[in-house]
Chain A
Amino acid sequence: MADDQSQHGELAPWDIVQLARHPQRPHTLDYIRGLCEDFVELRGDRRFGDDRALLGGVARFNGQTVVVLGHQKGSNTKENIAHNFGSPRPEGYRKALRLMRHAEKFGFPVLAFVDTPGADPSMASEERGIGEAIAENLLVMAELKVPIVTTVIGEGGSGGALAIGVADRLLMLQYAIYSVASPEASAAILWRDASKAPDAAKAMKITAQDLYRLQIIDEIVAEPDGGAHLDMPAAIAAVSAAIQRHLDELRALPAAELRHRRYDKYRSIGVVHHAQTVALNAALS
């Protein structure tokens, strides 16, 4: 275990994974209720059903009406079963889409909270087009005319997380994780061995610090000592202050400028080389 830890005695990525998944960690509804007043849940996708793994509605945040939505995990097994462990089915994403369109119609900003191991892998979800549901959300978020601030509060897993994460500002709690696939799935895909998850957690660069360095997230929200579950009010206050600061900046922008900046933000992600440079580097090394 010792060599897994950095020289500065910081937590290893795998330790952070445990914190991000801690059952007592504040979940989306805790943040919505802690941050906002007058929360009214809006349910259903108007197509098929109401997904309890992704909840949302309208609420008042520091005096202003906002649309809030996020993946909902439970704090115990019973709650987790009710919320499908925070893994939305297509209905959840289509409800999120409906709420985002609703926000655009009334000029409300969108506050989204990410906390999911990933989209629901099941026959039912595939039959109802889970891939299409995620793809459609990405496309609509790309051109939504109102500000979107997404906060990764626990576990950000794969496309199921990104489906509410194409935001103007992407914030991440200090001990949250965000990855292209869960460490277990990554290890299974890369090395056909899910037990190598701790290695994957390290190799895949999934912590807030890693992702800030890679310029994928805009801010790390510091957690209380030991993690958000040890002092929920303090964690909520920190998230509230960060979101308000970003919202103030975003609301000052005209809609066209907002969308223009969002385009540039996502269009520029990822490192590409030109073959000549690669050849040159190979020759030099």
Chain B
Amino acid sequence: MKDFLRRTQRGFTSSRKPEQQIPEDLWHKCAGCKELISAKQFQDNAKVCPRCNYHERLDANEWVSLLLDPDSWQEQDAALAPADPLGFVSPKDNYAKKLQTLRESTHRQEAAISGIGTIAEQPLVLCVSDFAFMGGSMGAVVGEKVARSAERAADAGMPLLTINASGGARMHEGMLSLMQMAKVSVALARLGEAGQPHISLLLDNCYGGVTASYASAADIMLAEPRAHVGFAGPRVIEQTIRQKLPADFQSAEFLLEHGMVDMVVPRAELRAVLGRLIGLYTPKAHAVNAFASGNNGAQAFLRGA
């Protein structure tokens, strides 16, 4: 029985001859249900499996093009690059070298992009983490981008949207990484004082110091279906309690049930939900005018008269 299981696990990928392999441009194998689906259909569906609703991870640029109005994106702080403040070297790991390799392979400086854009013609500041770059981990640059985004939103009077997939604080920058949690928090507190909302969208997966700072310190919390979000990782918890965790533990649906998020939003509906939400926090020009001309009593009341 054991041998039988082992063979099946190995079989599917390794026994194939190259000519038998699926042409990648035509078919996509869903990581959720393992079914073959048309690559075009998958792409048109924003990388959500039409059969099982599995939401495949998008990179930061894909998020920008999915959510923002065409040509509205202006990236900012793209040149911010990480330093190696601890001179982190160990027998198995060399941070400076690792960054160099990643920079060349991903053509990015860091694990997040930030900028401004519009959704349904409503301006907002956006900061998106990129899981492909060191697991979206937060070092000084990610912290700086989140903090600048919050400050930019506060100064410009725009809402802030953060899209968050991260393993947590970046080990290689040590305590300076942990302190980024404090850095983003002081900036988010300023955003709060400016009366602008912070909307956090939680993706699969988001853990550690990112969950325990800006990703959870939001006015509105959204999550993608079946995203896994928590503070301690499931492996750590299993080791501590010495038992298996339930399958849906730390899933978006679990968070909703426990009152930790406002909504679980399928990817296809996100743009509409965000557009509506932002609209509710952004006074429309005509609404402001109607208020000014037609309701002086209420206005005087608000002024404290």
Contact = CB atoms under 8 A, between A and B. Distances in A.
Given A138-B217, A191-B90, A191-B92, A269 B179 contact: yes
Contacts of A138: 181-182, 185, 212-213, 217
A180 interface: yes
A162 B181 contact: yes
A156 B237 CA distance: 20
Contact of B179 (A127, A132, A143, A266): A266
Interface in A256-281: 262-263, 266-267, 269-278
Contacts of B272: none
Interface size class of A (residues with CB under 8 A): 35 or more
A11 interface: no
A136 interface: yes
A151 B117 CA distance: 43
A199 interface: yes
Contacts of B140: 269-272
A123 B81 contact: no
B153 to A, nearest CB: 15
Contact of A134 (B90, B169, B175, B212): B212
Interface string B185-198: 11111101100000
Contacts, number: 202
B275 interface: no
Interface string B37-81: 000000000000000000000000000000000000000001111
B189 A143 contact: yes
B141 interface: yes
Contact of A126 (B79, B81, B189, B230): B230
A203 B182 contact: no
Interface string B173-212: 1111111111101111110110000000000000011011
Interface in A170-225: 178-181, 185-186, 189-191, 199, 203-206, 211, 214, 216
B79 A186 contact: no
A125 B231 contact: yes
17 contacts: A119-B232, A125-B232, A126-B249, A134-B212, A135-B215, A136-B216, A138-B212, A138-B213, A139-B192, A179-B174, A186-B171, A191-B93, A203-B86, A205-B175, A216-B175, A266-B179, A266-B182
Interface of B: 78-83, 85-86, 88-93, 100, 109, 139-141, 143-144, 147, 169, 171-183, 185-190, 192-193, 208-209, 211-217, 229-232, 236-237, 240-241, 245, 249-250, 258-260
Given A130-B212, A138-B212, A186-B171, 10 more contacts: A121-B232, A126-B249, A159-B181, A159-B209, A180-B173, A190-B90, A206-B175, A269-B179, A270-B180, A275-B80
